Chain A
């Protein structure tokens, strides 16, 4: 009979971790729907970036107040996880405070967990006030209505409740230690939960044990539920910030990639000896392949999530909708429809939709008549971008909304010839006379003699 709690614990733990892993596999499959991109060069720089930006939170503190608050919550969750390790061992083996023999170290550990837990509650309250009372501008854009708003609040409630349960568990535990209850080892320092000892006074040992056990169980179950909530939430950033910063573009922000498929065509066009009717050489061999059925010309640019690359799709899952990109965007600031955050949210929503389509159709995507362009992201948004890179600079985890905007513009221009008229005029000028305006190429040096 004594084993029942341990068995229940093991089942709950396995179920929690199992369901999460199942969803992570789905997440990885969805990211792999994107095009391959090689981002494994310059490894030292990548590790440094990850250490500096994800682990070190360097870009968070560009805005000092929310940056500091975020570091508290972040440290809280990382450090308090050491406590979770103890809870898991205790739960599986029926022990209580297995790390207690650490003595003074244990006191320091528990003491600092408690202080952090309180700080987390304070920070989370401030965050909640910023979202719901002060209503900071970046949290009330149109894309934040409905689920994104609730999602943000649910995360804050979760964090506050988990910390509250942790402190309740410790408070009841301390009371039991003082009563000399059996099984409750004298261990740990409790700078915060000792403050509410009076609440537990006169409750009697059995009630205290009930409170302590309930808080303990709810705390660990809450953590497992929260873990599984991640996949359905913007909160995935706590894990994905790490790969996301590792795979981020290391080139200067102004450097956009040169499409290789276009290079091949342009080379062919400019080569006077090229035979326009020759079969297209395959990528690998460089020689014409007989009967190669894969010789469909590559699509230029992106109209749906499968045309984006894997890093762009990882970006979409990593975005936690903080809106720093949007609040720095010149188009958003001047009331245009474009919001870089919405570009990322749309990409993720569409990717999820495609993923569900694949699940429902036995692993095969069945055309649903929808795409990222137009059904999610409108042309008006895309053409409002000045490519200034403010969004890329602002993102605390190096997401690049601009690259998605550019890829869809490429599709619009090269596959659909659907640029705004004035841009078509500009491009015709470049083609005809080598300048975006209709000036004669032969007049390029006139400035020398003009006064």
Chain B
């Protein structure tokens, strides 16, 4: 990952009188979390390579309010939502892509009734359309024949019925896609949803991310693919807990595609 990346903000675009094809909603994790920032960059490199005319909100972006809403703080959620909607509508945004299923779900499903209606896609869906439109090409290269298992993020899978886009991308790498015991509709949560990411779990016999990591390890994978920065953190912690971090990598689907392209 050496090439420099090109990113414009909506404010810059507006000043030049331009309208981007799509807004990339980076999300808090993608902006601040060290691991997730790598996913953000990998995705941006792919956007650059495909020549997608996109922009980010930059300092005008704020938390969608998802963790507040799932905690029960509807007041804070709606304050965040309405502030964001003001910004988005001010820029007349039509289409949004995001690499975070929580942002994806909130923007897509919960903003419309508060006055913010946009076409919202997850980055795996967006990458798939770039591939099918021929704007981006990918060859297996370094992932050819590797065993990869995909962990369904709850807010992408069950919450919004997106199961195939990330899987199709993995298959494009000529990798061997293996499924865990609980997958797709019956996928097991990583343990981070519902604002659990920000607190210690309740008392029990095991942490949820360990249970899920064990399911992943049962498939004997070389790589665990994820499509959510929070799932990524939970599974990475799980792999570290099992002392397998030298053998098994936890990677976002966008990183896999970008790496295969040697970006």
Contact = CB atoms under 8 A, between A and B. Distances in A.
Partners in one complex: yes
Interface of A: 62, 251-256, 258-259, 262-263, 265-267, 269-270, 300-301, 328, 330-331, 333-338, 380, 383-390, 392-394, 406, 408-414, 419-420, 422-423, 425-427, 430-431, 434-437, 439, 441-448, 450
B138 interface: no
Interface stretch (B89-97, B106-114, B140-148, B251-259): B106-114
Nearest to B208: A330
B205 interface: yes
Contacts of B196: 386
B160 A252 contact: yes
Nearest to A254: B159
Contacts of A258: 74, 78, 110, 113-114
Given A330-B211, A393-B186, A447-B37, A422 B199 contact: yes
Interface string B184-203: 01101101111111111111
B204 A251 contact: no
Contacts, number: 215
Given A430-B67, A437-B28, A387 B200 contact: no
Given A390-B158, A393-B186, A426 B191 contact: no
A414 B75 contact: yes
Nearest to B72: A409
Contacts of B9: 445
Interface string B50-76: 000000101101110101111111111
B202 A419 contact: no
B41 interface: yes
Interface of B: 5, 7, 9, 26, 28, 30-33, 37, 40-41, 56, 58-59, 61-63, 65, 67-76, 78-80, 82-83, 105, 108-110, 113-114, 154-155, 158-161, 185-186, 188-189, 191-208, 210-212
Nearest to B210: A334
B72 A436 contact: no
A279 B120 CA distance: 39
A337 B202 CA distance: 8
A367 B92 CA distance: 52
Contacts of B78: 258-259, 262-263, 266
Given A386-B192, A393-B186, A414 B72 contact: yes
B203 A336 contact: yes
Contacts of B114: 258, 263
Nearest to B30: A447
B193 A387 contact: yes
Nearest to B189: A388
A446 B7 CA distance: 12
Q: Which 6 A-B pairs have the closest CB atoms?
A: A254-B159, A409-B72, A387-B194, A335-B205, A434-B62, A255-B109
A431 B76 contact: yes
A413 B201 CA distance: 18
19 contacts: A255-B110, A258-B110, A262-B75, A265-B75, A269-B79, A330-B189, A330-B191, A380-B203, A390-B158, A390-B188, A410-B72, A425-B198, A430-B68, A431-B76, A434-B63, A434-B80, A436-B198, A445-B9, A448-B7
Contacts of B61: 434, 444
B32 A437 contact: yes
Given A444-B31, A448-B7, A334 B206 contact: yes
B209 to A, nearest CB: 9
A355 B65 CA distance: 38
Contacts of A420: 199
A382 to B, nearest CB: 9
A326 to B, nearest CB: 14
B67 A436 contact: yes
A270 B204 contact: no
Given A254-B105, A448-B5, A386 B41 contact: no
A436 B204 CA distance: 26
Contacts of B109: 251-252, 254-255
A427 B195 CA distance: 10
A436 to B, nearest CB: 5
Given A331-B208, A387-B193, A423-B71, A436 B58 contact: no
B159 A423 contact: no
Nearest to B192: A386
B59 A385 contact: no
Contacts of A394: 186
A389 to B, nearest CB: 5
B37 to A, nearest CB: 4
B214 to A, nearest CB: 11
Interface centre among A62, A263, A380 (most CB of B within 10 A): A263
B251 to A, nearest CB: 18
Contacts of B110: 255-256, 258
A336 B202 contact: yes
